[in-house]
Structure 1
Amino acid sequence: MNTFKKRYISALLAASFTVAPFAQAFQEGDILVRAGLATVVPDDATSNVFVGSDLGFGLSVDNNTQLGLTFAYFFKDNWNVEVLAATPFKHDVNFAVADPLGTGNQLGEVTHLPPTVTVNYYFMGSTSAFQPYVGAGINYTIFFDEEFTDTNSGAGLQDLSLDDSLGLAFQLGADYKIDKTWFINGAIRWIDIDTQAEFNLSGTPGRVDDIQIDPMVYTLSVGYRF
């Protein structure tokens, strides 16, 4: 074997050892940190609004995108526990029919934090940079800063309050490794978020008994492996 071939083969072997960590599977003890965009898309089915009697219309909740953060720890090869966090999501709450009170279609807005813990299983072994996974867990959604629009407040709507929610969460996602430490992540979650709303209309108690937000949550992020 001539000198050029020896050098060429040696270079290939060196490159293979350099790239080998790129395909290394996540394993017990690894910590993953991700940051990117998280979009909450509610499937907003609600019961009707009651103020003394059924007013005959419900509510809708719009989408919102915020900074999403996830932290995951592999307690076993192919298995991790993950926490989803984010900056607070703020949603417009609208009447499900056009302007029923003559105050505009937007009723108000609510802010919430949806911390979610899931246990995830990774399918692929050490030979693939593409690492898909599925997970299931628990979500606790905290509502705060609920408020009516100025127009609705002026019409006598006051004291909007939404109950916190505890429910199941499921997700499907994948990490794609750029190198040994950096990777790109995409995930889709379905979260069971059900709540109730209470308010006052010129001193008369009002309520919405069942607000099923049940959103799809889409995340796209960059991650780092420790």
Structure 2
Amino acid sequence: MTKTTILVLAAVAALGPGSALAQKAGDWQLGAGWLHLIPQDSSKPLTFTSPVAAVVPGSGAKVGNSDTLGLHLTYFIDSQWALEGVLGVPPKFKLDGQGTLGPIGELGTARQWSPALLAKYYFNEGQAKFRPYIGIGATYVWYSDVNLTRGLQGALASRLGLPPSALSATTAKLDSSFAAVLNAGVAYQFDPHWGMAFSVSYIPLKTTAKLTTTARGIPVANSEARLKLNPIAPYLAVTYKF
């Protein structure tokens, strides 16, 4: 066996494991794991818009943290650039009263739907096990299962001089919106298929809660509260490349 042949075989043996780990054009990666949402929230006072415009002085609300199952699917355009779709089980958020609404405690709950599409850039070479990355994209956010507590409904009825809550009710709707997504993280590949990823995303997000109060089924008042959510979202996932 010539020296040249020996050197070629040695080079192939050395590159083999690294090449098997390579992220390259056409690769797909599926991931699932723990998604934690931490709202950096603030709110405007609850404001009646009809029948007479009026602000509830000192009123406010705070959104609690939430955990859910996150899912993502990544397509590698080449070894550096990738497109990623992110979604998951819609997390349930609790809204608690602040200021003059503080004595009520919990005001309501809602589920947030926020599928996102990201463009990501991976640092280091495609065959590297450890790869930091950054990403930017957008999400469309909407809400379902919006429920107000009896405490809030009773407080609104009392303020409006309405009969007991059995004869009055308040429903709420949260505005949908598009929002940017800023993302940074690291990925580690254990073998040609399995790996792990950890990232943190920031979403500058706001919405308006619009409330309608009825008495005996007839609308009698409308009110609203503006919320800035701006969640920070850590995400730890197990990944599978195919």
State the TM-score, normalizing by the size of structure 2.
0.80
1-structure distance, mates of 2:37, 2:148: 21
- With over 3 angstroms needed to count, the CA separation of the structure-2 counterparts of 1:122 and 1:167, relative to structure 1, is same
Match of 2:80 in 1: 78
Deviation per residue, 1:83-105 (Å, 9 max, x gap): 110101100011122645x5x21
Q: Secondary structure at the match of 1:153?
A: helix
1:96 is paired with a residue whose SS is strand
Q: Compared with structure 1, are the counterparts of its residues 36 and 164 closer, same or farther at alpha carbon in structure 2 (3 Å cutoff)?
A: same
How many Å separate the matches in 1 of 2:22 and 2:203? 28
* Pairing of 1:100-179 with structure 2 (within 5 A): 100=102, 102=103, 104-155=104-155, 156=157, 158-179=170-191
> What is the CA–CA distance in structure 1 between the aligned matches of 2:87 and 2:143, rounded to whole Å?
14
Q: Which residue of 1 aligns with 2:26?
A: 29
How many residues are paired up?
211
Find the counterpart in structure 2 of residue 186 from structure 1: 198
Q: Which runs of 5+ in 1 are unaligned?
A: 1-11
Shift of 1:53: 1.4
Q: Which runs of 4+ in 1 moved over 6 A?
A: 12-15
Residue number in structure 1 paired with 2:166: none
Q: CA deviation at 1:123?
A: 0.8
Deviation readout 1:58-116 (Å, 9 max, x if unpaired): 2110010000000110123310110110101100011122645x5x2111011111111
Cα displacement (A) at 1:54: 1.5
> Gaps spanning 5+ residues in structure 2: where?
1-9, 158-168, 215-219
Q: Residue 48 of structure 1: CA displacement?
A: 1.3
Q: TM-score, normalised by structure 1?
A: 0.86
**Identity fraction in percent:** 25
Q: Check the 8 A contact 1:98/1:105 in 2, yes or no.
A: no
Q: Give the residue type in structure 1 aligned to 2:222.
A: P
> Cα RMSD over matched residues?
2.1
